[in-house]
Amino acid sequence: MQESPFIEHLIQKYSEQGARENSINNIQSVLTERFPQSDLQSVAQALESILDLEHLTELHRRAVHTPSVEDFLQAKRSGNVNWYSPLLS
């Protein structure tokens, strides 16, 4: 059975919204695990402003390797998420 265009639109919209929320949660989890003493409120606010799922995916990679929360936020602000990764060398 084929869904109506409206239903298909809703399914896609909420699927993308769920993927975005999952990405944000994953980034926050990584940073919380790596930097348990850091205040991540500013990170949460910064991530909520990002709608692009690809950008969030890149930021997740950055969170895994960033030396500090401050460096992570600086990369987010500058849009510089394609940075040196020791896994790629």
Boundaries of domain holding 36 = 13-78
Angstrom distance (rounded) from CA 44 to CA 60 = 13
Q: Is the residue at 62 inside a domain? A: yes
Higher pLDDT, 1 or 64: 64
User: Average of pLDDT values for 10-28?
Assistant: 89
Average pLDDT value for the chain: 83
Angstrom distance (rounded) from CA 72 to CA 16 = 24
Residue 83 has pLDDT above 50, yes or no: no
Angstrom distance (rounded) from CA 6 to CA 3 = 8
Q: Is the residue at 53 inside a domain? A: yes
Non-local (6+) Cβ contacts of 44 within 8 A are: 24, 28
Q: How many domains does the chain have?
A: 1
| HSE toward the beta carbon, residue 8, CA cutoff 13 A | 5
Q: Is the residue at 65 inside a domain? A: yes
Q: Is the residue at 25 inside a domain? A: yes
Q: Is the residue at 27 inside a domain? A: yes
Angstrom distance (rounded) from CA 9 to CA 12 = 5
Read off the pTM. Answer: 0.75
